[in-house]
A and B are shown apart, each in its own frame.
Chain A
């Protein structure tokens, strides 16, 4: 079987398992909505605070809720030794990594779209002309996030306090990407104050894509060592 066919087979397998259980996506979405709801309540009385901190809340919710999805990405495989089953089959570990990244990217993007839907209502978003670039930034950020997070998730699943260690390792690694996403959010979510010229969101999206490419390439090379028995 060609690598491409294996790649799509693995994505289909992952999505089918998730579709039956609906565990990861539901947990992640519920956690994200709760975080956004609490964040919105804390600034509900002041419209200017909503505008000022809205984009920060949005990215923080994505960052925190995303780890719920990442930490569960290898849970079933580790628990039931299904990973060994996949690896004894003629499947390249690098292709398995890329397929896991693609499937988790879909879950996390679904969660981000739901969070954005809630954001529209709770934070009175009105800059609809920026929707396209926001989606591009979200997609690029998620690629960098999942690309780096998947390697760490494979290592921390099954460890004592693995979920906490995943966050401790992932968050500092994601700081450059978070800075880029926040810079993009400055001109997407609100009108920049006069005299200030934040970086163009397109430039931030390109920077995020570069981070994503670096994490994907290093993950592709390192992942076989992580799942080595």
Chain B
């Protein structure tokens, strides 16, 4: 369940370089290749090429975190706990970027950065708060075994809530947020999906990096407790 095991064929430094290169390639395509304006949203639509990939990546990462949490609950693996926690942290980064780029876009398209009646904005904000709560909760639990188990329970509960929030909003919300953008040319669409892939690869590299940092920290704590706290030391 460790991200390093799934992606062992690609060393982490190469993965990071690949991710950044693909994101820079997306930036190049957005600046020089795709049309500068769209029918209704004019040039403000360009931020969509960064907003959409972050939104998709954070959703996928939260679902992955939920699946890893199920694995943690069935095996009790401490490493799976670290993998889930790092996936949530990187997902939170993606969610924050989604919110910020969304607000910049909303300011350009609607004249204000936040509209309360748009329940789609609200869903992303809820998700952000929910997973921020997960992060804060981890800091409050001191016992690592208890922290792993409780965090896994939260990870599953919150992952269930992701589609629940999505459908609740579809049921109750008025929608002023564009569900899809009418990208006229096939090239615009392929750039959109190229960007999504590029960001996702970069986020996966961040996940591996963060996982490695958490694993090292956990090993250091274990060493401190077992070796350095021996009598006579």
What residues of chain A have their CB less than 8 Å away from a CB belonging to chain B? 148, 151-152, 155-156, 159-162, 165, 168-169, 171-173, 175-176, 179-180, 183, 199, 207, 211, 214, 218, 222, 225-226, 228
Contacts and interface: CB of A to CB of B under 8 A. Distances in A.
B136 A168 contact: yes
Contacts of A172: 126-127, 129-130, 133
Nearest to B166: A176
B126 A151 contact: no
B108 to A, nearest CB: 27
B31 interface: no
Contact of B164 (A161, A171, A176, A183): A176
B210 interface: no
Contact of B126 (A159, A160, A175): A175
A151 B171 CA distance: 26
Contacts of B168: 176, 179-180, 207, 211
Given A175-B126, A211-B164, A222-B156, A159 B141 contact: yes
Interface in B142-196: 149-150, 152-154, 156-158, 160-161, 164-165, 168-169, 171-172
Given A155-B153, A173-B130, 19 more contacts: A148-B157, A152-B154, A159-B140, A165-B137, A169-B130, A169-B137, A169-B154, A172-B127, A173-B158, A173-B161, A175-B165, A179-B172, A180-B168, A180-B172, A207-B171, A218-B160, A222-B73, A222-B156, A225-B152
Contact of A175 (B122, B133, B152, B154): B122
A161 B149 contact: no
Contacts of A179: 119, 168-169, 172
Given A176-B164, A225-B149, A218 B156 contact: yes
Nearest to A161: B140
A134 B133 CA distance: 31
Chain B, interface SS category: helix
Given A159-B140, A168-B136, A180-B168, A222 B129 contact: no
Interface residues of B, number: 29
Given A169-B154, A222-B157, A183 B172 contact: yes
Interface of B: 73, 119, 122, 126-127, 129-130, 133-134, 136-137, 140-141, 149-150, 152-154, 156-158, 160-161, 164-165, 168-169, 171-172
Closest 4 A-B residue pairs measured CB to CB?
A176-B168, A172-B129, A172-B130, A169-B133
A165 B130 CA distance: 11
Contacts of B171: 207
Given A161-B140, A165-B137, A151 B153 contact: yes
A172 B129 CA distance: 6
Nearest to B152: A225
A116 B119 CA distance: 28
A214 to B, nearest CB: 6
A155 B155 CA distance: 13
B207 to A, nearest CB: 23
Contacts of B141: 159
Contacts of A176: 161, 164-165, 168-169, 172
A93 to B, nearest CB: 12
A225 B127 CA distance: 24
Contacts of B127: 172
Nearest to B122: A175
B61 to A, nearest CB: 18
Nearest to A198: B172
A33 B97 CA distance: 41
Contacts of A168: 133, 136-137
A152 B168 CA distance: 21
A159 B85 CA distance: 19
B126 A199 contact: no
Contacts of B134: 169
Nearest to B136: A168
Contacts of B158: 173
A151 to B, nearest CB: 7
A159 to B, nearest CB: 5
